[in-house]
Amino acid sequence: MRRIALLVLITGALVATWFQQPATQVNTVRELAPGVFFHEGDLRGSGHCNTGWVIFDDYVLVLDANFPSGAQMVLAKIKAQTNKPVRFAFDTHHHGDHAYGNQIWADNGAVPVAHENVLAEMQKYETGLFGGKPGRWEAEAKSREDVRASKLKPPSLLYRDLMIFDDGKRRVELRYFGVAHTRGDGFAWLPKERILFTGDAAVNGPFNFLGDADSAAWVETLTAAQTLAPSVVAPGHGPLGDGRVLAAQRQFFVDLRAEVGKRKGLPPDRMQAEVPAIRTALLERHATYIDPGPAPIIGFESQVATVYREMTGQEFPKKASQEAARITHQQHHGIEPR
């Protein structure tokens, strides 16, 4: 009896540890439930996002299209598992690392799917395709071979509030909760398994890019997503987590906004000088979201600058050289083009 109790205790602890500190398993396939898979992308090395896929009776639904090279990698792994065709590729939002692989999926018989605002965001930023002058795709193509070798394929199957895939066994609901990381953040929700794919509306690491975001709306959107009460959260970047990822991500923005809000009366130069103090104030509680390293993918200062701009309409006077280096690094890896 005692042995069983001990075993239950150990198993419980193991499960808890698995979710609390999941080892980063970049480029490995993980089965979350029968027919439901998660693949953590190599962000630092290749700029790839995380990808999911669900194997239905007649087809495969891919969750996030990735960059072209990420799409090719994941497609090969799907083909090794099943001979069912990939029919749909869901873009959680318009950024290159989540949508530029659309053409790869299309070439293999899939239709890119997204919230209607993803197309609107592309029409705004992808001027090379929609407006004439070079836009983000063309900027990205300068540093990425895989982008150069492919072409932009916007999503053509769009939803407003909800799109449902259901074959009687598995069900995936594409949902929309409002503006967050972009204006078009879609979520993929598996109600039976209580698994939520969030795209970059929730990440699990220091990867929050605010360039197309609205941080106040982002908090509200995450509050709405939390009502789903997921057991597993598959974030846009970083390791798999549980429902606490949504809470932690939301709280980071609540606290970041509070720290900036306290100081919003400061002029831009003095506000910029406060960045290290704000970082220190947030670091203990939000270590997951603040990069300690010398070459962060997303600079903390850029996050503070965006929130300050949202609150006051003012810009920081100068981009610190360190910050400029981060942006170069980020562009080199093709992450979140501005």
Which residues make up the interface to Zn ion (CB under 5 A)? 95, 200
Instruction: Give the strand pairing for 60-63 and 86-90.
Output: parallel
Nearer to Zn ion, 200 or 214 (CB): 200
Nearer to Zn ion, 60 or 296 (CB): 296
Structure tokens at 309: 């701009």
Q: How far is the CB of 268 from Zn ion (least distance, A)?
A: 26
Alpha-carbon distance of 336 to 97, in angstroms, equals: 7
Nearer to Zn ion, 203 or 271 (CB): 203
First and final C-alpha spacing in the chain: 60
Alpha-carbon distance of 132 to 39, in angstroms, equals: 36
Q: How far is the CB of 4 from Zn ion (least distance, A)?
A: 46
Nearer to Zn ion, 301 or 336 (CB): 336
Nearer to Zn ion, 19 or 253 (CB): 253
Q: What are phi and psi of 113, to 5 degrees?
A: -120, 145
Nearer to Zn ion, 200 or 323 (CB): 200
Q: How far is the CB of 199 from Zn ion (least distance, A)?
A: 7
Alpha-carbon distance of 216 to 223, in angstroms, equals: 11
Assess contact for 246 and 198: CB atoms under 8 A: yes
Nearer to Zn ion, 48 or 95 (CB): 95
The beta-strand segments (E) located in 64-170 are: 86-90, 111-115, 157-159, 162-166
Structure tokens at 95: 């950024």
Alpha-carbon distance of 172 to 149, in angstroms, equals: 32
Q: How far is the CB of 191 from Zn ion (least distance, A)?
A: 25
Assess contact for 52 and 197: CB atoms under 8 A: yes
Q: How far is the CB of 98 from Zn ion (least distance, A)?
A: 6
Query: b or e along 191-202 (b: 16 or more beta carbons within 10 Å of the residue's beta carbon)?
Result: eebbbbbbbbbb
Q: Which residue has the tokens 């293999």?
A: 108
Q: How far is the CB of 92 from Zn ion (least distance, A)?
A: 8
H-helix or E-strand containing 277? helix 275-283
Strand order in the sheet with 36-39: 29-33, 36-39, 51-55, 60-63, 86-90, 111-115, 157-159
Nearer to Zn ion, 150 or 198 (CB): 198
Q: How far is the CB of 269 from Zn ion (least distance, A)?
A: 30
Q: How far is the CB of 213 from Zn ion (least distance, A)?
A: 9
